[in-house]
Amino acid sequence: MVKVEFLGPINKDSLELEINNLSQLSEILKSDEDVSTWLETCAVAINDTLVSSKDVDLKDGDKISLLPPVCGG
């Protein structure tokens, strides 16, 4: 089971999913109308480290975060 959290303005409760990789997550989120429009602009972190490729294996207990466009200051 991995936890998926949606940060900032996405405004969606986190999900607990039985998935093994980010391609599976992509398929699930593309069919979720609350999130699908955010996917193009969201960065992805696994266990609080940003990743730049979908080619990552997930393990039980991993935390995935979606980070939409930022504007501090």
Name the residues that contact another protein, by CB under 8 A.
7-9, 22, 25-26, 29-30, 39-45, 48-54, 65-73
What SS3 class is residue 9? Answer: helix
Q: In angstroms, what is the minimal distance from the CB of 1 to another protein? A: 19
> Which one, 15 or 43, has the nearer CB to another protein?
43
Q: Considering only CA atoms, which of 51, 52, 45 is closest in space to residue 67?
A: 45
In the complex, the smallest distance separating the C-beta of residue 53 from another protein, rounded to whole angstroms, is 6
For another protein, give the closer residue by CB, 2 or 22.
22
Edge-to-edge, what's the strand order for the sheet holding 2-6? 15-17, 2-6, 63-67, 43-46, 49-51
What's the min distance (Å) between Cβ of 15 and another protein?
A: 13
Pairing mode, strands 2-6 and 63-67: parallel
